[in-house]
Structure 1
């Protein structure tokens, strides 16, 4: 009876989604011929300055657009900016905003919208999660840390269609940054009218991207229609999208296989071989690392020897081969493969080599050195993770290893993603699941995670910050590469993280959908998607 009840609920869910005909705030009916993406998480916010998860970034990519947009090779192309020039020293960029760039309500997108948005993200009173992404701007960090004024930040609208940007130091990846959500424009009148709620409600979200959000039924569904005001609307082939929301991999797969969705990410591992046989399973490359982060202020992980010991007993290859699959590879460092070492032309990971190892005997010796043994057992440890079948399976495997090899008492705690993220950011945990997908195609995007004073590990190191400041400010590519390798080695020597695997993006898609692409930075772009 219990099993029948579960199947009945799923059937009702599928039928209700299939038959659903939603209406927007203006009475527009969502057409039946639409793309349906099963979103893996309810967005906490769609404020580009504050959002922090890939599902949020994917939604924002549909409804906003920056000065540039990444193509299917992850290269920036003209978007809100039709052209730009760069000074000979690489410090000053001058962007020309399209005269036909408009918001979804028909008002023009101007250079002033970009200046407002970027300075708002850096405003210390806003406390934006993504402020650090704009530290590349001259005085960006100084303004965010209250050492400079907003007027001193290196972004200025000369007129409605000219934006001049001055950097702290040359940054070869800067144009790629302008496609990132922290650099999207937002409208001052929209934000100031409802500062706390404008980005959590479809009625108040005005975007400038290929689609507009017309319905947001929280924890249930998002609905979009084509934005006819978009400058490149002729390239947008879909008339609408419906995105049911579920954190459950199995539920999302059921939606696709039942016909209520067309595409979903991260299908359950147990189904991947079967799905591949049906031609539904695909794998896209990804620049990311799945890891556990230690709270360095929470015993027993306030001792780096303990952190190293807990990391050294994990056999990453076994976890990947038996649990994870999906083309992922074991991670023996923090920066993933696929990034170029500018000094050598090699892959950065290949040049840096492995920085962690599997060594149970050494792990036990380190615990003894840290003072733990029969007369002083380890305190109980709780692994925190957000609700998801994969996260649960990995946490159970890690739990068993730590109990069997180290004699530790390990418990598991899962939380809904919004609560989980808040607790991790506030340091309310001992060890927690984490992942980082690059914000741009450069090793620095991984190393900056721990140069921010608000990092999840609660790690504050003047030496590391000084090292990363040298990375930010040098124009010597060889020196910059050397410094980044030193920074990564410091992260692993301090054992701030326990890297587990380098990511890919496994997904399931029905053969009726084409024209979309997955960026290696983790987002999926539906601008030119279509139903065959």
Structure 2
């Protein structure tokens, strides 16, 4: 008897569910959301987590001073209101008088002081510590040049938190919603410093849900948090998240009615899902790009970088290889960010800053002085089917358009990242996902002297400094637009596509708020009754 691919997927699914413990799934109730998580969280410590699966779970379990709404605007979270000094350096946050942890204990301003200092403490070794460098002496403390008491955060009383910044930071209210700024429960950490964030029994949060079960590499279980400040509006009684890394298996779970939602269905299924009206595309503030090492020949010459960028055909790549509703990228900052001075999308306002032009590409290569004698060129990427497919397409484009033979080299992710960081490449694959909803989350990447491109431009750096400290929205947005133009004129990167978040969800699932930061907020989600 011949077995179809779909029948085989179902059989494999049963094996996976049995092996991972997902077979322990509780009986479905009217409002228990079943989301298929794509990977086991490495940690649910907000100071240490770096990947989307962790951030997604933490968004349901914790809440900062602010919380982003459906349009990624910061609204009151633990704080009900705040005052900002005229110079933009001092914030005073007033916390909710009924703020509670998920175990019912009071949550106070002192918890934020402890949590932020902990995230900055070099002993914590948080990869997110740089996000708190906006605080006065935050970087100095992290680099052991200041005491924790000198960091710009202190409790004026149980319900009042004073924050002092290193310099004006117009997007600080958005930063305050980021997971590195979440409060963490001090007593739990001190009692079990190594395991508090990896067990349901010891993880205490303050978000709309609480963690009730964690079968490692199997599933996460959640229940509505009765102590949440907005508990009355939470319609879900709980959530059950089986953990399945195989894309095809996650898709089968949803299509067979055993789950309500999954992300990243296999690319080979996109056309079918699109025709059946099942594929949905959520915004995602990210960019897939190639970065040039501006210090490594031949890409130390601007015209060579321009030639490679001008000859890249984005739409063909997306149509035939990438799919997923991706958009061709002709600039650095993706769509989805609003200029508060104009009300327009930053990308729409700035327009395309690069183009495709095969003739101009050949001319640029000739101008560089290499002619047809270009030194050997290697494209470095980390191992992965999609990265490989894109690299092979790029290789063929450059061969056809420029007559250049590019060698492809792939490395395991950890080795690849180290090679890119050390500048051991000529062209390398890269991607960047925004940490907060402001263009600065992209533009300050190339201000740091240790950026992957080894790029330094004094005018660019001055514009970024201006945008980081300016309080006037029109002035800071204008500075960022000018800086972005310089980055593309200098051909530091080859933007390929703006990322999106393809997903499949049951028609019953309603009220999910997608952030451009790639996270689904289930705070207001609910499931329609079966008919």
Q: TM-score, normalised by structure 1?
A: 0.84
* 2:336 aligned partner: 338
* 1:36 aligned partner: 34
1:4 CA drift (Å): 7.4
Indicate whether 1:272 and 2:295 are aligned: no
> RMSD across aligned C-alpha pairs, in angstroms?
3.6
> What are the equivalent positions in structure 2 for 1:363-382 lying under 5 Å apart?
363-367=361-365, 372=370, 375=373, 377-382=375-380
In the aligned structure 1, how far is the partner of 2:492 from the partner of 2:315? Answer: 20
* 2:309 aligned partner: 311
* 1:160 aligned partner: 158
Indicate whether 1:435 and 2:426 are aligned: no
* 1:448 aligned partner: 444
Say whether the 8 Å CA contact 1:22–1:30 is kept in structure 2.
no
* 1:502 aligned partner: 498
* 2:79 aligned partner: 81
* 1:486 aligned partner: 482
Say whether the 8 Å CA contact 1:169–1:474 is kept in structure 2.
no
Say whether the 8 Å CA contact 1:403–1:410 is kept in structure 2.
no
Say whether the 8 Å CA contact 1:332–1:500 is kept in structure 2.
yes
* 2:407 aligned partner: 410
In the aligned structure 2, how far is the partner of 1:297 from the partner of 1:203? Answer: 51
Say whether the 8 Å CA contact 2:12–2:249 is kept in structure 1.
no
Say whether the 8 Å CA contact 1:339–1:442 is kept in structure 2.
yes
* 1:252 aligned partner: 250
* 1:17 aligned partner: 17
**Unaligned 5+ runs, structure 2:** none
More divergent stretch after superposition (449-458 vs 492-501)? 449-458
Q: TM-score, normalised by structure 2?
A: 0.85
Say whether the 8 Å CA contact 2:302–2:491 is kept in structure 1.
yes
Residues 76 and 374 (structure 1), Cα distance of their counterparts in 2 relative to 1, 3 Å cut? closer
**Unaligned 5+ runs, structure 1:** none
Q: Pick from 328, 344, 368 the counterpart of residue 326 of structure 2.
A: 328
> What are the equivalent positions in structure 2 for 1:132-211 lying under 5 Å apart?
132-145=130-143, 148-192=146-190, 198-202=196-200, 204-211=202-209
1:322-357 superposed Cα distances (whole Å, 9 cap, x missing partner)? 334444321110012333345555433244332222
Residues 9 and 526 (structure 1), Cα distance of their counterparts in 2 relative to 1, 3 Å cut? same
In the aligned structure 2, how far is the partner of 1:488 from the partner of 1:351? Answer: 12
Indicate whether 1:238 and 2:218 are aligned: no
* 2:66 aligned partner: 68
Matched residue pairs, number?
A: 525
1:197 CA drift (Å): 5.3
Say whether the 8 Å CA contact 2:244–2:250 is kept in structure 1.
yes
Residues 6 and 272 (structure 1), Cα distance of their counterparts in 2 relative to 1, 3 Å cut? closer
1:184 CA drift (Å): 0.8
Indicate whether 1:112 and 2:110 are aligned: yes
1:111 CA drift (Å): 1.2
- The SS at the match of 2:35 is strand
1:300 CA drift (Å): 5.5
In the aligned structure 1, how far is the partner of 2:196 from the partner of 2:366? Answer: 53
Residues 279 and 314 (structure 1), Cα distance of their counterparts in 2 relative to 1, 3 Å cut? same
In the aligned structure 2, how far is the partner of 1:461 from the partner of 1:344? Answer: 28
Q: Pick from 337, 356, 359 the counterpart of residue 357 of structure 2.
A: 359
